[in-house]
Structure formats: structure tokens, C-alpha cells
Amino acid sequence: MLGIVDSVVGVAGKVLDKFVEDKDLRLKLDAELRSQLINLDALQAQTNLEQAKHDSIFVAGARPAIMWICAFALAWQYIVGPMASWALTIYDPLIQLPTLGTEELTGLVMALLGLGAARSYEKSKGVARNSMRR
């Protein structure tokens, strides 16, 4: 996540260079911006943890549901779809199976895998649940 912080601060730094002439004030504003962005990231992580602790499956189960959808989509795109396409080609060559946009899917999977680190951290601290029921 610090790469995003550096990117945002880099763009904001160029703006600060143009409009703020005092070097000390510019450094102070740059440090404050970095601090606020890192604080925002920490607050989002805390929100994610609180959401995962919720008793309702519709709140705590949102991320697992998206993960299962991604798992199904990946299985379709790379395993089931090609095998079914091959089998259908033998039966009727005119039938075309749908394909998925792998760019969007890959982005979503990478984001979810990044969140998997939080689950591993929960398990290492002994606070992770083993089932959907408490």
C-alpha cells in the first residue's frame, strides 16, 4: 500500500512545488499528507477487521462470497471452459462458450489475495473463527 502513498504524495509534491515556495512548509505539508494517507489505510484495515467479526453472514460473508465467485470464474476460464469447449467442438463446432475478461478478474483476485494476509494474521493471533457460526 505504501506504493500508492508514494504515488499520491509524488503527484501532490509536484503541486506543492509549484504553489508553495517555502521549503520548510513544503516538507511539513508533505509529511502531513503522508501521515494522513497512512492513517487512512490503518482505519480501512480496522474497518475490515470489524466487518469480519460481525455476526451476520451478510456482513462478514461478503468477502468469502466474492472469493468463491473468483474461484469459480478462474476455474471456468482456465479449466472447465477449455475442456467443455473441446468437448462441444466434437459434438457441435458452431457452439461457442462464453469467456470472461481476465484483466478485471485478475485485478479482483490480486486484491483479495492481499486481504488474505489479514486472515493469516488473525489465525496467527488465535482470533480467527473456524466456522460461520459462533
Tell me the pLDDT band of 111, cut-offs 50, 70 and 90: confident
Tell me the pLDDT band of 107, cut-offs 50, 70 and 90: confident
Task: Output the pLDDT for position 61.
Answer: 78
Tell me the pLDDT band of 95, cut-offs 50, 70 and 90: confident
- Give the DSSP letter string of the chain: -HHHHHHHHHHHHHHHHHH---HHHHHHHHHHHHHHHHHHHHHHHHHHHHHHH-S-HHHHTHHHHHHHHHHHHHHIIIIIHHHHHHHHHHH-TT-------HHHHHHHHHHHHHHHHHHHHHHHHT---SSS--
Cα→Cα distances 37→13, 31, 79, 108, 121, Å: 14, 10, 40, 22, 22
Task: Output the pLDDT for position 83.
Answer: 92
Size of the chain in residues = 134
Is 0.85 topped by the overall pTM?
no
Grid coordinates representing 3 are: 506504493
